[in-house]
């Protein structure tokens, strides 16, 4: 991995950095100083923004991904729970662990259709035993067997007392009440009581995403109902005069709106309810009315309008009427995001560029949801998996920024290899489909062909 030497950091930002880390007394106003939260000294830049109500909260600018998540978690998604019938639980997330109400298996039983025998009777091929009964699933308890006897048994039926092995039906020949044993008598064909789970054992931790297998396990453990996290309602609002819904007439200068569709599907994948709103125009009044209409939602994701431009009105309205916690991240792509609250509701101002908005969801919004709601790191819903990949070509990093280049990851000879296929523009949504991963190149660091680097595999 090659560290870049050039540092590109505008002077103005550097000055803010010095002010914050060296001498707090140089901050612009006394009021701002007194309201400064005690953030760690690694904070890169602190900006002051005048906000409604005469309060001057602190807005950090140009934060690292870790810092962005830390700040966003000061306003977590609120967690509520509900109890559902097991059959309605698929895809939901457990809010508390589930322990088994029974041993699994509940009793010693046969893994095969065949005969329950004493292994010592079956040492010589062709042994003949007397059939003394049948063990059926859900039937009466089978008779005890003694030396020279066998009991017919079905898969899953209780092992008769006295038996210590099973012979497969394929290895037997029946004649009246006699059975000839032509194959091995195996103790391994007995499924022992509690060999999977013991009563009281916790098998599904809190934060588990209920897949079909975990639903089945909850059933195996005797749970007819499950307590799950109530789906938070997350509003999605695209902004921009140029946006029209796909499938409708399009005029010159307009583009089809795509971000809200991607974000809605990501929100649903993270176990939340997506409340997609019609795109808002670049108008302060329309934005205000629309944001106010989302008061029954638990969080708001906007896309677009958070950069430096005159028409970046999400930033402007949040600056003037909301509370901003941070603006801009040291990330490429995905530099412009903003986080704050609108009338107390957490709001992520995601970039308008389609790739950037998706990438920021993956690396910031998804972890914020997961941490807020206590998702289990391995068993909870997640969109990406951190892996090590070997680069097949040089990949350039970014000055001062964590660089998330799109890569295609494939497995070959036990190793994950990564290549790039399309150009990496942040407006190129095709690049998110042609690739299935993102590099995690540290700031000022290029990746070289043959090198193993960290990456996120998009699941």
How far is C-alpha 107 from the geometric centre of its chain's CA atoms?
37
Q: What gap in Å lies between CA 194 and CA 203, rounded to an integer?
A: 13
* Contact window for ligand AMP (CB under 6 A) among 15-23, 161-169, 182-190, 237-245: 237-245
CA–CA gap between residue 185 and residue 167 (Å, rounded) = 5
Is 160 one of the binding residues for Mg ion (CB under 5 A)?
no
Beta strand residue intervals within 49-182, DSSP E: 58-63, 81-85, 98-99, 109-110, 114-117, 127-135, 149-153, 165-168, 172-175, 178-181
Nearest approach in angstroms of CB 279 to ligand AMP is 6
- Tell me if the bond preceding 165 is cis, omega within 30° of 0: no
Q: Which residue carries 């639980």 as its tokens?
A: 89
Determine, following the binding rule CB under 6 A, whether residue 303 of this chain makes contact with ligand AMP.
yes
Smallest distance from ligand AMP to CB 73, Å: 25
Q: Alpha-carbon torsion 272, 276, 282, 286, what sign?
A: negative
The answer to whether the CB of 396 falls within 8 A of the CB of 448 is no
Q: Does 290 bind ligand AMP (CB under 6 A)?
A: no
- Smallest gap, in angstroms, from Cβ of residue 242 to Mg ion? 7
Q: Should residue 305 be labelled a site residue for ligand AMP when binding is judged by CB under 6 A?
A: yes
Measured from the CB of residue 313, what is the shortest distance to Mg ion in angstroms?
A: 8
Among 149, 257, 400, 444, binds ligand AMP (CB under 6 A): 257
Task: Identify the residue among 232, 304, 337, 381 touching Mg ion (CB under 5 A).
Answer: 304
Work out which of 89, 105, 240, 271 binds Mg ion, going by CB under 5 A: 240
Tell me which residue of 403, 362, 369, 405 sits closest to 385, measured CA to CA. Answer: 362
Q: How far is the CB of 42 from ligand AMP (least distance, A)?
A: 28
When asked if residue 351 is in the footprint of Mg ion (CB under 5 A), the reply is no
Judged by CB under 6 A, the residue of 51, 95, 259, 424 near ligand AMP is 259
In whole angstroms, give the CA distance from residue 446 to residue 441: 7
Part of the chain binding ligand AMP (CB under 6 A), chosen from 1-9, 43-51, 91-99, 256-264: 256-264
Peptide bond into 419 cis (omega under 30): no
Beta strand spans in 169-303 (E): 172-175, 178-181, 190-191, 202-204, 225-229, 233-239, 243-244, 255-256, 273-280, 299-303
Least distance from ligand AMP to the Cβ atom of residue 431, Å: 14
User: Which residues ranging from 391 to 430 are in contact with ligand AMP (CB under 6 A)?
Assistant: 427
Per CB under 6 A, contacts with ligand AMP among 101-120 are none
Q: Which residues bind Mg ion (CB under 5 A)?
A: 240, 304-305, 352
Q: Which residues bind ligand AMP (CB under 6 A)?
A: 238, 240, 242-243, 255, 257-260, 303-305, 307, 351-354, 427
């Amino acid at each position: 991995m090659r560290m870049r030497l050039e540092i590109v950091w505008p002077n103005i930002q550097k000055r803010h950095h010095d002010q914050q880390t060296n001498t707090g007394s140089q901050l612009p106003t006394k009021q701002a100083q007194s309201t400064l939260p005690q953030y760690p000294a690694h904070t890169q830049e602190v900006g002051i923004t005048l906000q409604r109500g005469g309060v001057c909260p602190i807005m950090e600018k140009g934060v690292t991904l870790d810092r962005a998540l830390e700040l966003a978690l000061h306003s977590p998604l609120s967690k509520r729970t509900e109890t559902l019938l097991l059959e309605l639980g698929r895809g939901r997330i457990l809010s508390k662990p589930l322990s088994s109400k029974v041993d699994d298996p509940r009793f010693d039983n046969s893994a095969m259709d065949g005969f329950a025998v004493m292994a010592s009777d079956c040492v010589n091929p062709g042994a003949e035993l007397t059939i003394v009964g049948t063990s059926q699933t859900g039937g009466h308890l089978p008779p005890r067997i003694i030396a020279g006897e066998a009991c017919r048994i079905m898969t899953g039926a209780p092992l008769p007392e006295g038996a210590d092995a099973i012979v497969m039906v394929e290895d037997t020949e029946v004649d009246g009440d006699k059975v000839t044993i032509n194959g091995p008598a195996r103790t391994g064909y007995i499924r022992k009581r509690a060999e999977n789970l013991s009563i009281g054992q916790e098998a599904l931790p809190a934060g588990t995403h209920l897949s079909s297998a975990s639903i089945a396990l909850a059933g195996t453990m005797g749970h007819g109902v499950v307590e799950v996290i109530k789906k938070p309602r997350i509003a999605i609002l695209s902004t921009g005069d140029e946006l029209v819904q796909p499938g409708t007439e399009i005029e010159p200068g307009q583009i089809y709106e795509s971000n809200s569709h991607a974000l809605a599907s990501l929100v649903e994948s993270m176990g939340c309810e997506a409340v997609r709103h019609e795109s808002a125009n670049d108008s302060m009044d329309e934005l205000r009315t629309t944001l106010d209409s989302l008061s029954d939602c638990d969080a708001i994701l906007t896309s677009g309008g958070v950069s430096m431009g005159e028409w970046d009105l999400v930033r402007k309205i949040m600056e003037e009427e909301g509370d901003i916690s941070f603006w801009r991240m040291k990330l490429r792509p995905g530099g412009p995001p903003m986080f704050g609250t609108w009338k107390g509701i957490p709001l992520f101002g995601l970039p308008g560029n389609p790739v950037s908005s998706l990438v920021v969801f993956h690396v910031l919004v998804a972890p914020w949801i997961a941490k807020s709601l206590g998702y289990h790191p391995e068993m909870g819903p997640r969109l990406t998996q951190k892996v090590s990949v070997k680069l097949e070509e040089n990949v350039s990093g970014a000055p001062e920024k964590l660089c998330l280049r799109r890569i295609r990851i494939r497995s070959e000879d036990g190793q994950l290899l990564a290549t790039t296929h399309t150009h990496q523009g942040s407006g190129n949504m095709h690049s998110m489909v042609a690739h299935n991963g993102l590099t995690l190149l540290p700031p000022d660091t290029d990746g070289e062909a043959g090198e193993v680097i960290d990456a996120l595999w998009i699941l």
